[in-house]
Amino acid sequence: MPPAPRPDGPPPAPTVARYRIRYARRGRLRFSSTRDFARALERALRRAQVPMAFSAGFHPHPKISYAGGAPTGMASEAEYFEIGVTEVLDPDQLRAALDAALPDGLDIIEVVAAGPGALADRLAASDWRIEFRDTAVEALDAAWSQLSALPDVTVSRVFKTGPKSLDVGDALLHAEVGAGEGCAILRVVVRHTTPAVRPDDILSALRDLVRFVPSSPPRVTRLAQGPWLADSAQVADPLAADKDGAASGR
């Protein structure tokens, strides 16, 4: 048997460091998908002259991994990805260079050197803010109370393989209703499940199970994603362990 073909040229430079990056998707850029962001990011990395590490093979690609991307159309203050590079970089300089190279609305918030373990394993829950414009807080509170009192909160969503039932109640970790400027606000923390329960599923439950239909499409923003701290009812910073390791001289 002849040997398998190998790519011409030298092998790619080794990965010497990895960085975990938090970014925001704001304004009109909330309508960009993870694939759209990936294309914009690769262009930004080239413009910023970041020494990216590449995979081997006939079709090398940058060593970038994405975790827990928000659905298209939803803003987010807590999107994450990880990159491998061939040189040790200053995280603050990397943040500034990437932020300047990306379009407004795709904003790099924080860069830290990656510690051990998988970033995706830390993204256990998401904190969502759902804003209902021109909706009375009392109306939203009554609808949510009615929904919460149901013994079963299950909705259906159509996937490529067909419709599936999603247990919204089982995924819900925390919820509260409040008032904003000209709107009522529903804050929900949802456990990451497979398949994931999304804010759209919560809106479907309000519409289909208790007949709560807002006058205009709600504005949805992810405020945080990370480990769930039940004692304080908060979603923790998933990069905290990396920052603690750097501070202790790991």
The residues, ordered by sequence, that sit 6+ positions from 26 with a Cβ below 8 Å of its Cβ are: 75, 105, 106, 107
DSSP state of 108: E
On whether residue 194 sits in a domain, the answer given is: yes
Whether residue 33 is found in the same domain as residue 84: yes
pLDDT for 130 beyond 70? yes
The pLDDT assigned to 61 comes to: 85
The residues, ordered by sequence, that sit 6+ positions from 95 with a Cβ below 8 Å of its Cβ are: 21, 108, 109, 110, 111
Whether residue 108 is found in the same domain as residue 137: no
Whether residue 47 is found in the same domain as residue 105: yes
Sorting pLDDT into bands at 50, 70 and 90, what band is 250?
A: low
pLDDT for 218 beyond 90? yes
Whether residue 170 is found in the same domain as residue 216: yes
On whether residue 237 sits in a domain, the answer given is: no
User: Of 53-57, 76-80, 115-119, 134-138, where does mean pLDDT reach its minimum?
Assistant: 53-57
Sorting pLDDT into bands at 50, 70 and 90, what band is 249?
A: low
Across residues 202-208, what is the average pLDDT? 96
The pLDDT assigned to 42 comes to: 93
Average pLDDT, the chain: 91
Whether residue 106 is found in the same domain as residue 162: no
On whether residue 221 sits in a domain, the answer given is: yes
Whether residue 200 is found in the same domain as residue 156: yes
Whether residue 82 is found in the same domain as residue 133: no
Gap between the Cα atoms of 210 and 45, Å rounded: 47
Nearest residue to 36 (alpha-carbon basis) of 66, 7, 9, 63: 66
Sorting pLDDT into bands at 50, 70 and 90, what band is 46?
A: very high
Whether residue 147 is found in the same domain as residue 194: yes
On whether residue 242 sits in a domain, the answer given is: no
Outline where 153-232 has alpha helix (H).
168-171, 199-210
| CATH assignment at residue 148 | 3.30.70
The pLDDT assigned to 57 comes to: 75
**Cα–chain center distance at 50:** 23
pLDDT for 6 beyond 70? no
Total number of domains in the chain: 2
Residue-range definition of the domain harbouring residue 182: 125-226
**Cα–chain center distance at 204:** 21
Sorting pLDDT into bands at 50, 70 and 90, what band is 11?
A: confident
pLDDT for 15 beyond 70? yes
On whether residue 211 sits in a domain, the answer given is: yes
Percentage of the chain exceeding pLDDT 70: 94
| CATH assignment at residue 115 | 3.30.70.580
Whether residue 111 is found in the same domain as residue 156: no
